[in-house]
Amino acid sequence: MPAIHTMPDRVADKLRGRNRRSQNLSTKLTNEEESVIESASSASGKTPSEWARDVLLREAKPPENSVNIEALMTEIVGLQLFLTHVLQPVACGEQMTPSQYQELMRQVKTTKRQAAREVIAAAALEKKE
């Protein structure tokens, strides 16, 4: 009698080393949006659904070491404000007194957040145009 070979039972909750995907998430796209998604997924070497899954998960739970863009921009703008106000007198051959320096530091600390928000808003407006 011939031996019968059977495939080993696959663990129901694992597939290729990962949990089985059983949930669906759906959205509707315009033709233009679909083209953008297809281009982005193709550029990354993934199918549109793989690419979308990766993007959704990345956005839903950003890495713990991610940097707040507004905080980073605030510090960059603060440095820009500081350097602009320090280098101008130096370039003109003037010296800054310790009290002028302290006043400049106080001024930069109080204005850098609003200045950064303005820079971010201007960049967003440029991007839309």
Find which of 2-6, 9-13, 54-58, 77-81 is predicted with most confidence, using mean pLDDT: 77-81
Interval 37-82: pLDDT, tens:
999 999 999 999 999 999 998 888 877 776 788 889 999 999 999 9
Q: What is the pLDDT of residue 15?
A: 63
Q: What is the pLDDT of residue 12?
A: 53
* 3-state SS string for the chain: CCCCCCCCCCCCCEECCEECCCCCCCCCCCHHHHHHHHHHHHHCCCCHHHHHHHHHHHHHCCCCCCCCHHHHHHHHHHHHHHHHHHHHHHHCCCCCCHHHHHHHHHHHHHHHHHHHHHHHHHHHHHHHC
pLDDT band at 6 (very low <50, low <70, confident <90, very high): low
Interval 108-121: pLDDT, tens:
999 999 999 999 89
Domain boundaries, the chain: 26-66, 69-128
